[in-house]
Every structure is written in structure tokens, then in C-alpha cells.
């Protein structure tokens, strides 16, 4: 019997109307301070009415030295709360739930490099050209406190959940990866020490938001680079995060680029499916799969096979914010996104993410 992807689903205390989620997507619309703008609100209003059960925001930095890119949301101080409230309200108006994704970029900050500011590094990296310095123990503790304070701001702003960004080579990935973490203190060396940052972030967030507020993670379960984090270590970290009260895991990549990425020539190729299936077998909390999914048929097959519990997509919602409504209302054709990746170039230039095919070429749908 096929699982009803459009039926209600529960993550901890969070009730969702279906099993579809919008994966965190940088949209370039925040102002120079990281504050939400009217353009930001319009994006989330469209998503909220589009039928998706859970929206995860574009990543929001937890500290000024944690900013990754221009146009990124900030959640690093209380001045950001009012704008964040507007995003939550926009999603809720359409019946969606919303999680704030929070991040520290570490050495993966193009923003700091552009502004000639030294990055905070887990370890000194001789092969890294951008200015950086290894953090002291007290600085690491301050960043962990920053994650906790930011999570509490999200709760106060009306978000339904928080998602940690523990993937794509940002700071949490850097702590976990032997490629970036060469420390010899309690934060590095053994697998236990390299995952200490994750466990402490989760523990400290729980202290301030309480046991019921949903806490998720986008998790790079394995590095896509030789001699990096192994799948075995990633799976064990997932188990320990569950023990530390993480509520859901969205499976993604760690340090390095994914081995396979959906493109115009191969628009549908769920390139994290095997990883998601491995995590699903190891934990009891809900597992989300993201990357390369473009059709309802594929989504149904993934969930029915037991490889994941929820379907997470990013770029399809840039072209079609109402994709889930379309699928639910009998039009089962695949997403119109062709994976050209030009939407993010538009966001860099115009401070508003949009589908290149729709806005520039005006091709018939």
C-alpha cells in the first residue's frame, strides 16, 4: 500500500500537513545588515500558499564572523527578530510550518574574504589561501552559545522549529571532518572529540528552548573528498545526535562537492539516496532526503522503499512555489525546473532569486 505523501506527518511535537519540505535556500534578499526585506517576505508568502508542509529558511548566521555570503539572513542579535517574525507569519498564512536554519560559516566564508576579514578556523590550514586563524577554546564556547541564543530568537520570533546547518563544508562540517579538524585538544583528534561540537550545540540549544521545541539538522553524513569523514563515522554521529535529542535529520554532503549533481542533461538523480537510506536504518527519528528529486513518482518510490520519511527540494520551488498544490490537484507532471542552476546567479546580481527560464527566456510551460 503506497504511503500517502499528502497526508499529515509528525516530527516530534510538530504537526505537518504533508511529507514535502522546502530545503533551505539562500535567496540573496536580506539587507546589508542581514535583516529581512519585503522581497524576502514575498518569497515566503508564495511558498506558504504553495502547499509544502515545512519550509526551511535560507541559512541565517549566528554571529557576524559566521556570515557566509552577501544577502544572507542574520539572526545574530535581537534586532533581527521583527523581520524574522514576518517570515514566520508569511509561511503560516498559507498553512505551512517553518524552521529557521542557522549556521556559522567558519572558513567557508566568501563574505569575510571579500571584506578582507580573517575567518575563524577549527584548525590552521596551510593550503587555504584566505586569511584565517585557529580558534581558542573560549571562542568555540562563544560560538556554541551563539547557536543557542539564535535558536531561542527563532522560537521567540514564532518559528515552528530550528534546523542546524551541519553540511556543505560550513563550521559544523569542519569540526567533524579530519580534513579540517587537526586540533589536539578536546575539540579534535578522535572521532569522539571531532563530534563534540555537534553534541554541545544540541545540548546547549535544548537548555534554552526546552525539550519540546523541534530541533533538526541538515547533516553532511560523509565528506565528498578523499580522507575525509567516513560514512561509518557519520552514521555513528547521527546516532549520538539522536541520543542528544535531535528530532530529525536531513541527509546531505559534508566537506567537498557532491559526486553527482542534477543538471540539464540528467535533471532527476537523487544523489543522496543511498546515504539517506543508511541513516534511516541507523536512527529512529524522521529522515529527510534532498537533492535531485524532480517527480512525484520518484518521491513516492523513495518513501515507499523506506529510504526516507520526507521529501525535501530546493530549486523546483524557485520556479514553482505552488508545485505541491499542482501535484495534489491531479497534475502529476514532473517539476518544471531543468536544473540549469542559473537562479542563484540572478540572486547574486539582483538580490532576488528567480527562475532564469521564467524570467529571461519566457519559454512556454
Q: Catalytic positions, please?
A: 170
Quote the CA–CA distance of 191 and 99 in Å, as a whole number: 29
Q: Which residues contact 233 (CB under 8 A, 6 or more apart)?
A: 176, 191, 195
Tally of helices (H runs) and strands (E runs) in the chain: 14, 14
Q: Count CA within 13 A, CB hemisphere, residue 243.
A: 10
- Residue 212, classed as helix, strand or coil, is coil
- Residue 358, classed as helix, strand or coil, is helix
H-only helix segments in 226-308: 231-243, 273-282, 296-304
Neighbouring-strand partners of residue 11: 14
Amino acid at each position: 500500500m503506497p504511503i500517502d505523501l499528502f497526508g499529515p506527518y509528525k516530527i516530534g511535537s510538530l504537526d505537518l500537513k504533508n511529507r514535502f519540505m522546502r530545503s533551505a535556500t539562500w535567496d540573496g534578499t536580506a539587507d546589508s545588515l542581514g535583516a529581512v526585506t519585503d522581497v524576502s517576505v514575498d518569497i515566503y508568502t508564495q511558498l506558504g500558499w504553495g502547499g509544502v508542509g515545512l519550509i526551511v529558511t535560507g541559512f541565517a548566521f549566528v554571529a557576524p564572523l559566521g556570515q557566509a555570503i552577501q544577502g544572507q539572513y542574520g539572526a545574530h542579535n535581537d534586532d533581527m527578530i521583527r523581520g524574522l517574525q514576518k517570515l514566520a507569519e508569511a509561511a503560516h498564512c498559507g498553512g505551512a510550518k517553518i524552521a529557521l536554519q542557522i549556521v556559522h560559516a567558519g572558513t567557508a566564508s566568501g563574505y569575510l574574504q571579500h571584506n578582507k576579514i580573517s575567518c575563524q578556523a577549527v584548525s590552521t590550514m596551510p593550503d587555504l589561501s584566505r586569511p584565517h586563524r585557529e580558534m581558542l577554546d573560549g571562542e568555540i564556547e562563544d560560538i556554541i552559545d551563539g547557536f543557542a541564543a539564535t535558536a531561542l530568537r527563532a522560537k521567540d520570533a514564532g518559528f515552528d522549529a530550528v534546523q542546524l546547518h551541519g553540511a556543505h563544508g560550513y563550521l559544523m562540517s569542519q569540526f567533524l571532518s579530519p580534513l579540517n579538524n587537526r586540533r589536539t585538544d578536546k575539540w579534535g583528534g578522535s572521532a569522539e572529540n571531532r563530534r563534540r561540537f555537534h553534541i554541545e550545540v544540541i545540548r546547549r540549544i535544548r537548555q534554552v528552548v526546552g525539550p519540546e521545541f523541534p530541533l533538526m539538522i541538515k547533516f553532511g553524513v560523509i565528506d565528498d573528498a578523499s580522507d575525509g569523514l567516513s560514512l561509518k563515522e557519520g552514521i555513528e554521529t547521527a546516532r549520538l545526535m539522536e541520543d542528544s535529542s535531535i528530532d530529525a535529520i536531513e541527509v546531505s554532503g559534508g566537506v567537498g562537492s557532491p559526486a553527482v549533481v542534477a543538471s540539464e542533461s540528467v535533471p532527476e538523480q537523487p544523489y543522496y539516496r543511498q546515504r539517506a537510506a543508511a541513516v534511516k536504518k541507523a536512527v529512529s527519528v524522521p529522515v529527510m532526503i534532498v537533492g535531485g528529486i524532480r517527480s512525484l513518482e520518484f518521491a513516492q518510490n523513495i518513501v515507499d522503499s523506506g529510504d526516507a520519511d520526507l521529501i525535501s527540494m530546493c530549486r523546483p520551488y524557485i520556479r514553482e512555489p505552488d508545485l505541491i498544490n499542482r501535484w495534489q490537484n491531479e497534475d502529476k507532471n514532473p517539476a518544471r525546473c531543468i536544473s540549469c542552476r542559473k537562479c542563484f546567479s540572478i540572486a547574486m546580481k539582483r538580490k532576488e532569486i528567480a527562475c532564469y527560464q521564467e524570467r529571461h527566456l519566457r519559454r512556454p510551460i
